[in-house]
Chains A and B, each alone.
Chain A
């Protein structure tokens, strides 16, 4: 085989390999996690992302204190892409500018004694397709595209449902806090009231009882 053919063959393989790899869809998927963040704690999560992938980070604080948390998202070089302090809910979309490990941290270091429950949803790229789509060369039929659009619509319904559930959890946790506080406050105030009023009477009586030696006769 002539040398130029061998060289061409090698370059051809390399180019083909590169092209095929670029066509392979990037890993997709979403991670939805609810975790508890103790006071004065920081929790970090890492993910390896390929360049050019569109990612979305959404978080919400469900219970605890003033329902706020610090969030920080950094790229592989440590550059801060997103930083917010004491946020209750936010959503951030970005496109990965380089390959590597992206890291995002939630911090409750400003709080002294309240635990926070934080929910986040980190979406990387597109969801993996239903089929390995090795022989997906023809376009989708009308039925199939209808199914795809219904699927997307239902995904957004589930997404809204999740947010609604979280808001309701937040409202309910506040209501339950209020209920326990009212109970403790009622009992506490009743006791204080009784103690103070009975104490007042006896204290007043003691003012007049000790003065046997000194003359404090009124109206003499």
Chain B
């Protein structure tokens, strides 16, 4: 990247003269340019699940990077060997479509075949328990869905597209995603309508049945008691 090259250039030409503060600023800017994603902490046996509600034939790409807290140096180490994450993806019918172990840094991909809520679960599968020792694991996660998952640089190189053609291709992908989402929306609205109508039916039948039960019970009660009291010679 441009920032990396610039930092190396600066380093080689004025290595001894850079002040600590300047170096820190440059380092920070360089780190920022690496594109750090959102991160969160996860315990040793904890399982974190994320839900992606997507239409069918949609590609999902997830990138993650783990860091372990080093107690001696009191900072997060960049990468630890032997530390892995187990990724499990379930489709809306609770069928497992991806269940794989990845290293401390990994990338998983899947394409949905049924529309609905897909569940992506991550949990650590560390081989050396002593590494954790009451610490937390820091996981950087980035999930890209549908059109965002496309790598346009690769598409441009593969199909040899000009700049304008690539832009139009991006627009086409976006519009396709919108179409898929709207189809999915129609399917879900139908399900919603079915649920509402079923509730309506149930309430209607229940009211009628309840009235009949009440009347029948009332009649039975009166007749039973009447015959009971007549037998007791009280009536």
A residues adjacent to B (C-beta < 8 A): 9-10, 13-14, 17-18, 20-22, 24, 26-27, 29, 31-36, 43-48, 50, 99, 117, 122, 130-132, 134, 141, 143-144, 147-148, 150-151, 154-155, 157-158, 161, 164-165, 168-169, 171-172, 175-176, 178-179, 182-183, 186, 189-190, 193-194, 197, 200-201, 204-205, 208, 218-219
* Cβ distance B41 to chain A, nearest Cβ, rounded Å: 7
What 7 pairs between A and B have smallest CB-CB spacing? A147-B167, A17-B10, A186-B206, A34-B51, A31-B38, A10-B14, A179-B199
Please state if A147 and B36 are interface contacts (CB–CB under 8 Å).
no
Please state if A46 and B40 are interface contacts (CB–CB under 8 Å).
yes
* A27 closest partner in B (C-beta): B35
Alpha-carbon gap, A25 to B70, bound state (A): 32
Please state if A193 and B199 are interface contacts (CB–CB under 8 Å).
no
Please state if A43 and B181 are interface contacts (CB–CB under 8 Å).
no
The size class of the interface chain B forms with chain A is 35 or more
* Cβ distance A158 to chain B, nearest Cβ, rounded Å: 6
> Could you say which of B22-30, B91-99, B102-110 contacts chain A?
B22-30
* B4 closest partner in A (C-beta): A24
Alpha-carbon gap, A178 to B201, bound state (A): 13
* A185 closest partner in B (C-beta): B206
Please state if B181 and A208 are interface contacts (CB–CB under 8 Å).
no
- Which of B31, B51, B199 is within 8 Å of A36, CB to CB? B51
Alpha-carbon gap, A200 to B164, bound state (A): 83
* Cβ distance B177 to chain A, nearest Cβ, rounded Å: 7
Give every chain A residue within 8 A of B39 (Cβ-Cβ). Answer: 45-47
Sample of 10 A–B contacts (CB below 8 Å):
A20-B6, A26-B32, A31-B37, A141-B164, A147-B164, A168-B188, A171-B192, A182-B202, A193-B213, A208-B228
Alpha-carbon gap, A46 to B191, bound state (A): 37
Give every chain A residue within 8 A of B1 (Cβ-Cβ). Answer: 24
Please state if A44 and B188 are interface contacts (CB–CB under 8 Å).
no
Please state if B32 and A17 are interface contacts (CB–CB under 8 Å).
no
Alpha-carbon gap, A175 to B34, bound state (A): 45
In the complex with contacts A190-B210, A197-B221, A176-B195 CB distance below 8 A: yes
Please state if A158 and B9 are interface contacts (CB–CB under 8 Å).
no
* Cβ distance A71 to chain B, nearest Cβ, rounded Å: 15
Please state if B40 and A43 are interface contacts (CB–CB under 8 Å).
yes
* B37 closest partner in A (C-beta): A31
B80 at the interface (CB under 8 A from A): no
Please state if A17 and B7 are interface contacts (CB–CB under 8 Å).
yes
Give every chain B residue within 8 A of A143 (Cβ-Cβ). Answer: 164
B79 at the interface (CB under 8 A from A): no
Please state if A27 and B53 are interface contacts (CB–CB under 8 Å).
no
In the complex with contacts A47-B38, A134-B2, A218-B181 CB distance below 8 A: no
Alpha-carbon gap, A14 to B17, bound state (A): 10
B18 at the interface (CB under 8 A from A): yes
* B207 closest partner in A (C-beta): A186
* Cβ distance A139 to chain B, nearest Cβ, rounded Å: 13
In the complex with contacts A46-B40, A179-B202, A201-B225, A190-B178 CB distance below 8 A: no
Give every chain B residue within 8 A of A32 (Cβ-Cβ). Answer: 143, 145
B61 at the interface (CB under 8 A from A): no
Give every chain B residue within 8 A of A46 (Cβ-Cβ). Answer: 38-40
* B147 closest partner in A (C-beta): A158
In the complex with contacts A130-B166, A150-B171, A193-B6 CB distance below 8 A: no
Alpha-carbon gap, A190 to B213, bound state (A): 8
Give per-residue flags for B33-54: 1 if the beta carbon is below 8 A from chain A beta carbons, else 0: 1111111110000001111110
* B30 closest partner in A (C-beta): A21
Alpha-carbon gap, A179 to B193, bound state (A): 12
